[in-house]
Structure 1
Amino acid sequence: MSQPIKEAAAVCKTIMRNGYDAYVINAPLQERAMDQDHMEVDICTELDFTGLTKLFPSLETSGGLDFLGSLRQGQVTFNFYPADVIESSYTDGTIARMTPRLVKRLEEMGDMPLTWACPYIPDPRAVYDGFEDLDTGKVTLEGLPDETLKKDYLRAIKALRFSANFGLPIEGNTWLAILRSSRRVLDYVSVTDLMDEWRKVEAENMHRFVSLLFESMILHGLIPELASLSRVKQVKNQEEGLENVWEHTLGVMRYYPEELPYDWYGTMACLFHDVGKLFAAEYFHDRITFYQHHRIGAKVARKILKRLRFNTDEIDLVCHLVRHHMRFHFMLTDRGIRRFMALDEYPRLMEMVRADIKARDGSYKEFNHNLKMLQKAKVSEDTLEPLLNGHEIMEFTGIKPGPGVGVIREALLQAQAAGDVTSVPEAIEFVMRYKEKEHLQ
């Protein structure tokens, strides 16, 4: 890896430690297009120009929306571009592959890029119909398993659920019948019925259930995006080398309920937390990277959960957890930790990171640092005093007395808690900008 790319990665890390996304745009192509006369690196970040100048005071503005500015450090110039942060945008546009500067540089070279808690009340009726007594110590279909399945293919999903929840093995011929019928299960069982069974699986046992879905080949047809993770490799840790992403996903699902038992939705978020790696994966110097996999994963998860008939609130919760699951991985500054605490469901996000570290046998250095920062920053919004009172808000914004004043005051308090507003001048700028944005009178 060239030195400019290494320096750009360090710049990105500085931004990420403050709670914002940043990555080097198409690093393989940029390295290819670089020489001693063109020591420039393009970086994509969700941080705006004002935020960048707080971290890099010598940043030069561009004066445009599509190009934030440039920063000269030594012999290298870093160009900053705005990241795609629109949740409803198309997946392929989430990670930038090309910039105007890079296109121009390639034209100069005469070259072109090659590729641009359980939420279901069970119905007790006929639960075990078609099954031998579970007292036998195995999950066994009655009679000839293939014929018993033909009468109701939902029994295949029930067998997987019984095995996962009760910790029982599936009898050999029953397992073979399920395996032979995997395609028919998906053809004849409605998604609603399948998910009714899935929702009866306890959070602590969900990793076993989805593992059985995978082994029976049902997952390959139901959620191929997850099954494909078994063919994507990543570094587990420096001592143990490579693992596939599916094995890691099962590990995270296994460890997450240890700290938050019965959290069905949190465990479901663990199932989808790395689904974006399939779409974000890219090799660079024989090392695989997964830039923006959390953003991509949230979009892919939304598509899958709609397919599985989840309701809107459930989808929003799971996708929120997937989208932000990387925040606590980085060693955060005071401002970064306050932005993290401003996120909904941040305790769940913390436990997703803890489970991820356990699954990797990884280092707790960053996690423990963030825990200490979290304790220092734990100040309830109720105990914060806004930098501007109601009269001052009306004076600076020109709005009349009414509910709008309270709306702006609450927004200001949240911005202070997140560390985005730390002084009276910043508070004045914030309330005026917020008034214009929300069209308050």
Structure 2
Amino acid sequence: MPERDDPETVGRRVQRLRGERGLTQRQLAEPAYTPAYISTLEAGRVRASDEALRHIARRLGVSFEELALGRPAHLATELRLRLTEARRMLADGRAEAAAGRYTELLAEARSHGLPGEQATALLGLGECALETGELASAHAHFECAEEHLADASPAARAPAVRGRAVAHYLAGELRYAVYLLESTLDELNRGGLHDPDALLLLYASVIGPYMDMGAHARAAQAAEFALALAPRAGDPALIARMHRSVARTLLAEGRPAEADASLAKAAELYRQLQLRTELANCHWMRGYVHAQNGQLEAAEAELRQALDMLSETSAALYRSQAAVELADVLHRLGRPAEAADLLEGVLGDFSSERGAVHAAAAHRLLGIIAEDTRDTESAEEHYVRALSLLERAGAAGDLADLCRLLGDLLRRTGRTEAALDAYRTGLGHRTAPGTTTLGPAPAQPPL
């Protein structure tokens, strides 16, 4: 028997609808039932059969679902259409407006007992919070969505897990982000649940944390798996995200032309899909690739375009992160004052719990600029703050270089023992390149 409300609730609903239509119990009952049966049903003393409820629904001019569950006809379909509209608002960079719409839809889905639509609305709210940099709120929404999907397959839960992982990643909790993604990948692969979209989503998402942790070997392997899964995936936005993530591993392997080609594919897909924030992030990444390849003028153009696009959206955290990348390029172009002004303008957007890795990058660059002007006291302060942020985040990929900068500064100012301590700390982070202490890598997908 289909799920339905209890007999008393259904009885009151039948009585209300009958009164609204001006029908007597006899008129509602005939020709299949008796007025006494309708009276007993309205009093909640009998659980009507599906056949009886379908008859009564036809007489009342409502759907079986509306009579049995109180849901208007086609409610779930209409809600899904409106959820799609909210997703489009978010894609246009209107995160705050999208969050308001998702909140309304979540309330409607709750009032009508639609768990799937509740989970979708919660995922949308989580994505909005990620874009606006409200990481604690994002984590709460994704965690709640995962609870609604507790009885679903690991593949269905993958977007919620990925959302939680990204929230931890942006907060500087790299190791826990990797743990969430790796454990879910392991569950999918070892359990034979080889959903290409779910696997691609998780592999593309784990590349960034791997790279920041200095686990380049695992990042390259994840990129290899993602590329192999892409032809079987059905979501073009997901494929674009994969190309954007894979570009980082290609660049780390000394293949800048291939990295740029991968980003060009991603950008074209984002343009077709009209995903504005994602397209801006793609310009940001292309700027980073150009900068690493020594093409500084091209890097500045791409990063300024990313910054302009992100400034038109609610993506404050992403905008500040792109500004740090642009400041690095401006410094390398011989414009340190302009770079310092840009960094000072965005440092307030970061904290140890919000954008820690980019906050460290900002302090590192401000330290270098201070050293250039012989302000060693300010330089040391910035290096120490950057070191604290990176150690908390576990970002081993950047720690060794920062320890070298700090050691050189301490040595030049006559503090040899402190300089040696800094160098030793840096060496400790370079002893096992390309590895983590997370244990064995996840099981491989069937490729």
TM-score, L = length of structure 1? 0.29
TM-score, L = length of structure 2? 0.29
Rg (Cα) greater in structure: 2
- Hey, which of these two has a bigger chunk of helix by percent? 2
- Hey, which of these two has a bigger chunk of strand by percent? 1
